[in-house]
Structure 1
Amino acid sequence: MSTQDNKSKIGSYLARYFPGHELREEEDIFALGFVNSMFAMQLVNYVEHEFGVVVENEDLELDNFRSIRALDAFVARKLKTATAAA
């Protein structure tokens, strides 16, 4: 799956929670005030289930989840690591 496909999936998922706001790839969803702790956990769950990756404790850094672009990069790193380990 391409990075653009992943960005599209992530953007579509986030758009459901931010109606009326056209979220750009680089926009910080935490700085915009869109995210609370409950949604942050939903986002982790979404990433794990949608992309088949395991989010480890050390992955739980805001920088991995701040934006569509950051989430895409995080997923790509996790998928690359999983492929290399297999």
Structure 2
Amino acid sequence: MSQYEARVRAFIDENFPPAVEGEPVPAGLSLLESGVIDSMGVLLLVTWLEQEFGFIVDDDEVVPENLDSIAAIDGFIARKVELEPAG
């Protein structure tokens, strides 16, 4: 598990219903296609990412490649955090 995956997983588990009741969401599962997250959920996710990690999610970054699975979100956070200038 990467450094961000546990935080992302905790947020997903707290705010969205699981794809399969009683089972953790697989890291590579499409959150949109499985119905875990809908379009309003994406907005909630983006807001959380900005508040939790202190970066801005640009409109052109709100794409499945960045936000459609726990693994994709984890990679997106890592890229954004590395690109942000330190304090």
TM category, shorter:
0.7 to 0.9
Aligned length: 83
After superposition, the C-alpha distances for 1:11-51 in whole angstroms (9 at most, x for unaligned) are: 01101212434101111111101222111100000111111
Higher helix share goes to which structure? Answer: 1
Does residue 73 in structure 1 map to residue 71 in structure 2? no
After TM superposition, what 4+ stretches of structure 1 lie above 4 angstroms from structure 2? none
Aligned runs of 1:1-86 on 2, under 5 Å? 4-16=2-14, 17-19=16-18, 20=21, 21-83=23-85
SS of equivalent to 2:31: coil
Q: Deviations over 1:43-80 (max 9, x none)?
A: 00011111111101121112210111100100111111
**Paired amino acid for 1:9:** R
Q: Distance in 2 between matches of 1:25 and 1:83?
A: 28
CA RMSD of aligned residues (A): 1.8
* Unaligned segments of structure 2, at least 5 residues: none
Question: In 2, distance between residues paired with 1:78 and 1:62?
Answer: 16
Flag structure 1 segments of 5+ consecutive residues without an equivalent: none
Quick one: distance in 2 between partners of 1:50 and 1:8? 13
